[in-house]
Amino acid sequence: MDLWRPASPCAETDSIVNVFTIRCTRRAVARDGFTLLEVLVSLAILSATLIMAYQVTSSAISAGERSEAWTTASLLGETKLREATETFPEVQETEGKFPAPHEEYSFRLAVKQALHSDAREVYVAVSWGADGAGETITLGGLAVR
Tell me: the pLDDT tens digits for 65-121?
A: 999 999 999 999 999 999 998 988 899 999 999 999 999 999 999 999 999 989 999
* Domain, as residue range, for 60: 31-144
Global pTM reads 0.65
First and final CA of the chain: distance in angstroms? 114
Clarify whether residues 4 and 55 are in a common domain. no
Clarify whether residues 10 and 61 are in a common domain. no
Q: Find the CATH number of the domain harbouring 58.
A: 3.30.1300
Clarify whether residues 63 and 133 are in a common domain. yes
Q: CB–CB of 136/125 below 8 Å?
A: yes
Using alpha carbons only, how large is the chain's radius of gyration in Å? 39
Q: Report the C-alpha gap between 74 and 68 in whole angstroms.
A: 10
Clarify whether residues 15 and 76 are in a common domain. no
3-state helix vs strand vs coil in the chain, percent to 5: 35, 25, 40
